Amino acid sequence: MAEPRTRPDEISRSREVAEAARDREWKGAGFLRDLFLGRLDLGLVDPYPLARSTRPAFLEWLARFERFLREEVDPAAIDEAEAYPPAVLDGLRALGAFGMKVPTEYGGLGFDQVEYGQVMQLLGSHDASVTALLSAHQSIGVPQPLERFGSEELKRRYLPRIARGAISAFALTETVVGSDPARLTTTARRSADGTHYLLNGSKLWCTNGTIAELLVVMARGPEDDQISAFLVEAAWPGVRVTHALHFMGLRAISNAALQFTDVRIPAGNLIGAEGRGLKIALSTLNTGRLALPAAVVGGAKSALELSRTWAAARVQWGQEVGRHQAISLKLARMAAVTFAMEAVSDLAQSLADRPGYDIRLEAAAAKEWNTVQSWRLLDEAMQIRGGRGYEREGSLRARGEVAVGVERWLRDARINLIFEGSSEIMHLFMAREAVDRHLEVAGLLVDPRAPLGRKLAALPRVAAFYARWYPGLWLRGLVAPRHARFGALATHLRFVERASRRLARQVFHGMVAFGAGAERRQGFLFRLVDVADELFAMSATIARAEALRAAGAPEAAAARELADTFCRASRRAVARLFRELWSNDDGAADRTGRAVLEGRHAWLERGGIGLGLTVEALRPRIPPVEAPPITRG
Ligand SMILES: Cc1cc2nc3c(=O)[nH]c(=O)nc-3n(C[C@H](O)[C@H](O)[C@H](O)COP(=O)(O)OP(=O)(O)OC[C@H]3O[C@@H](n4cnc5c(N)ncnc54)[C@H](O)[C@@H]3O)c2cc1C
C-alpha cells in the first residue's frame, strides 16, 4: 500500500485554519439554516420577490448591454479565436461593465445583487467566456473584497480606476493548494520598518491573470499560519505571468499562472487586517459565487429554446422527435428545471440584498444545485439535438445549417461544478453548517479529546435542549399549516414542511450514531445536503408560481404546471435520498474505492494502451522560480 501523503496532524491543521476563517457567527435570518433545524420559515421566501429591478437607469443600461452583446459579441468567433477581441474589452469598458457593483460615489454603476444577477443571466445566455471575465473581475476580483474590507484610502485610490475599466483577478489557488486554501505557500514578509511587504510565491489558474491590472493575492506570513489579502498591481516589478493557460471550454479566458519574486507591496495595500486573508477570501466567495447560478439560468434558457424548436422541426419515424415519449419527457424535465433554477437564483440574489440576511447557505446551495442541474440539462439538449449537438458551429455553418453549438455550451459549463467552490466542497460547507447548532450544544459529548469530567458537566444542558427540541419536531407536525392559499401546490409545500422536520431529525440521528466520526461520513452528510437543496428549490419554485398567480401574470397557469412537474420529481428524489441515508452500499463501495486507490484493482487497467502514470509523477510541485516570462497583454 502506498504511504499516505497527508499526515493526520496536517489534516487537523487544515481544518483548524479553515474553522478559524469560518464565519461562526450567524449574522441574521437564514432559510436553509432553519430548515436544517426543522423549521420551515415560509416568510423568508413568500411572498416571492418577483419584481426584478425596474430602476430606469438600470433598465436603460441593460438594454444598451443587450444591444452590445447582440452586435459585438460573437460567442462562436470568440471560442474559435480563443481570445477576447479588443473591441469587446473596449466596449465593456465604455459601458462601465467593470464597475457594475462599484458604488456610484467611486464612479461605478452601483448595481445591487438583483441587478447584477439580471446582467449575469443575460450574459450567461450568450457567452460563457465573457461571463467568466466579468464574474472573476466583479464577483471575486478586487472590487468585492476592496469594497467590503479595504480602507477608505485604498477604496478611493482603486475603485474609480476599476470603474473606468481596470480589469482585476483573484489569486488564491496554487499548484499544491486547491480546495484546501489554508495550506497555501505564497509568503508576504513584512519589512522591519513596517512600510511594506515582500511577496514571494506562485499562483495557478488565475482567471483574467494575463490581462488584469490589479490582483487580490492571498499570502501567509513566512513563520505563521496567518493568511493576509493584498491588493497587488500587476505592473509592479517581480510580478510575472509564467504561463497563459488553456482549457476544455471557456476558450477565451485570459487565465494565467503567476509568479511573485520579491514584489514590494506598500503596507497600505493590505486589505483588511493582517491575518484576515482567508476569512476575506472565503467571505468574498460567499456572495461572489451567486453570479454562477444566475449565469447558468441564462444558459438553460438558450438550451431550452433550441431543444423545443429542434424537437418540433426534426421529423423521424413519421413524427416530430419531440412527440416520441423519451424526448417529450426530457423536454418536460428541462422546462420544469429551468423554472426551478430561475426561482432559486432570483430568490438567492434577492435574499442577498435583504438587510439582516445571512446568505452563506443559500449562495452555496444555489451555486451547487443550479450548476449541477445546468450540466444535466445541457447534456439532455445535446441528446435531443442528436449528431448536430456534437458538431461544431463552424462545421454546421459551412453546411448551411443553423449554427448553434451545444458542444460549446457543454465544454463551457463543465467547469462550473469545479471552480468557486467545487460541488463536493459546497456539500461539506453546508453539512458543516447543518450540524453546527448540534455541535454547539452537544459538541463536547462527541469530542474524543474532551475530558470525561467536562462531558459529564455538559450533560444536563444538552439533555435540557434535546428534551425540548426533539419532541417539538413531532408536535409541530400536529399543528402544521395546510397552506390552502397555494391551491394544488399546497400538497408539495406540506411535503417540504414534513421533510424539513425529518431532515432535522436525521441530522441529529447521524450525530448520535456517528459521533465525532460524522464528518467522515460524506455519503450520509451529502445526502442530507441534497435533501436540503431539493427542499429549498421546491420552496422557491412553489412560492414563485404562487406569486405569479397572485400578480395575475398571463403565464401563471403555465408556471403552476411547471412547478407541479418539478415538485413531483423533486419529492421522489427526496424520498430516495431519505431511504438511502440508512440503507445504502456506502461501506462496501468505500472499501472498494480504497482498494482501487491502493492499486489492488490496477490489474483491470491491463489490455488498454496504458498511460505509464505513477503517483509520484502526477504529484504537483511548486514551480521553480526561474520559469521564462511571457509578455503580458
Ligand atoms: C478555468 C479555471 C478558472 C479558475 N479561476 C480561478 C481564479 O480566478 N482564482 C483562483 O484562485 N482559482 C481559480 N481556479 C481554481 C479553482 O477554484 C480550483 O480548481 C478549485 O478550487 C478546485 O481545486 P483543485 O482543482 O486543486 O481540486 P482539488 O482540491 O485537488 O480537488 C480534486 C477533487 O477532490 C475533491 N475534494 C477535495 N477535497 C475534498 C474533500 N475534503 N472532500 C471531498 N472531496 C474533496 C474536489 O471537489 C475535486 O473534485 C480556476 C480553475 C479553473 C480550472
Reported as a single tens digit per residue, the pLDDT across 512-559 is 898 878 888 999 999 999 999 999 999 999 999 999 999 999 999 999
Residues 381 and 512 in one domain: no
Residues 206 and 229 in one domain: yes
Q: State the pTM of this model.
A: 0.95
Give the containing element (helix H, strand E) for 271: strand 270-271
Structural domain contains residue 343:
yes
Q: How far apart are CA 333 and CA 66, in angstroms?
A: 28
Residue 31 Cβ < 6 Å to ligand 1:
no
Q: What separation in Å is there between the alpha carbon of 79 and the centre of ligand 1?
A: 23
Q: Give the domain range for residue 187.
A: 168-275
253 φ/ψ angles, rounded to the nearest 5 degrees = -65, 145
Q: Is 561 a catalytic residue?
A: no
**C-alpha dihedral sign at 219, 181, 409, 82:** positive
Residues 376 and 297 in one domain: yes
Q: How far apart are CA 237 and CA 466, in angstroms?
A: 60
Q: Looking at residue 65, which CATH number applies to its domain?
A: 1.10.540.10
pLDDT tens profile 438-479: 877 777 777 778 888 888 888 888 888 888 888 888 888 888
Share of the chain above pLDDT 90, in %: 80
Residues 243 and 365 in one domain: no
Structural domain contains residue 576:
yes
Structural domain contains residue 632:
no
Q: How many domains does the chain have?
A: 4
Q: What separation in Å is there between the alpha carbon of 289 and the centre of ligand 1?
A: 14
Residues 470 and 368 in one domain: no
Residue 428 Cβ < 6 Å to ligand 1:
yes
Residue that finishes a domain, picked among 242, 275, 308? 275
Residues 584 and 435 in one domain: yes
Residues 264 and 324 in one domain: no
Choose one of 173, 210, 255 to mutate for the ligand 1 pocket test, by most ligand atoms within 8 angstroms of C-beta. Answer: 173
The minimum-distance atom of ligand 1 relative to the CA of 247 is 1
Residue 164 confidence class, pLDDT cut points 50, 70, 90 = very high
Q: How far apart are CA 471 and CA 11, in angstroms?
A: 37
Structural domain contains residue 621:
no
Separation of CA 550 from chain center:
32
By the 8 A CB rule, do 32 and 365 touch? yes
Residue 258 Cβ < 6 Å to ligand 1:
no
Cis omega (within 30 of 0) on the bond before 47? Answer: yes
Residues 63 and 155 in one domain: yes
Residues 351 and 440 in one domain: no
Q: Looking at residue 508, which CATH number applies to its domain?
A: 1.20.140.10
Residues 143 and 227 in one domain: no
Other C-beta atoms within 10 Å of 493: how many? 24
Residue 269 confidence class, pLDDT cut points 50, 70, 90 = very high
pLDDT of residue 517: 84
Residue that finishes a domain, picked among 588, 610, 627? 588
Residue that finishes a domain, picked among 147, 163, 179? 163
pLDDT tens profile 335-377: 999 999 999 999 999 999 999 999 999 999 999 999 999 999 9
Tell me the DSSP string of 571-612: HHHHHHHHHHHHSS-HHHHHHHHHHHHTTTTGGGGBTB----
Residues 184 and 262 in one domain: yes
Residues 452 and 539 in one domain: yes
Structural domain contains residue 615:
no
Residue 606: what residue type?
A: R
Cell numbers that stand for 272 in this block: 483588511
The minimum-distance atom of ligand 1 relative to the CA of 209 is 8
Structural domain contains residue 41:
no
Q: CA 617 → CA 179, 246, 460, distances in Å?
A: 21, 21, 55
Structural domain contains residue 186:
yes
pLDDT tens profile 184-238: 999 999 999 999 999 999 999 999 999 999 999 999 987 777 999 999 999 999 9
Q: Looking at residue 207, which CATH number applies to its domain?
A: 2.40.110.10
Structural domain contains residue 25:
no
